[in-house]
Amino acid sequence: MKRSNGFIRGFAALLIAAPLAAMAQNAYTVKDANVRAGPDRTYPLVTRLASGAPLQVMGCLDDWSWCDVTFADNRGWVYGPNLSYQYEGNRVPLYT
């Protein structure tokens, strides 16, 4: 039975996307934090999150200075030192 190219492309996209979704890390803001359109203070402000706001970290720059985050159907960049994550019942800094 011959499979259509659309099916194969869709299946391949699913295989690629599945590991990316699994890598997301639950995190929280340490203090009130700006969410920017890019990984630098010169990018436009998307919104401001209150201290303790939950979000998902999708990835960070190599030096962990800025992280790509999602929250409530939004996406942006947060300064790494403003984030923490849950570890063994405590919130620990994502970046030190």
Identify the band that residue 18 occupies on the pLDDT scale cut at 50, 70 and 90.
very low
Residue pLDDT, tens place only, 24-34: 889 999 999 99
Answer yes or no: is 5 within a domain: no
Report pLDDT for 86: 86
**Taking Cα atoms as reference points, which of 11, 63, 23 lies closest to residue 39?**
63
pTM: 0.72
What is the number of structural domains in the chain?
Answer: 1
Identify the band that residue 44 occupies on the pLDDT scale cut at 50, 70 and 90.
very high
Answer yes or no: is 10 within a domain: no
Where residue 82 sits, what CATH number does that domain have? 2.30.30.40
Q: Which domain holds residue 42?
A: 24-93
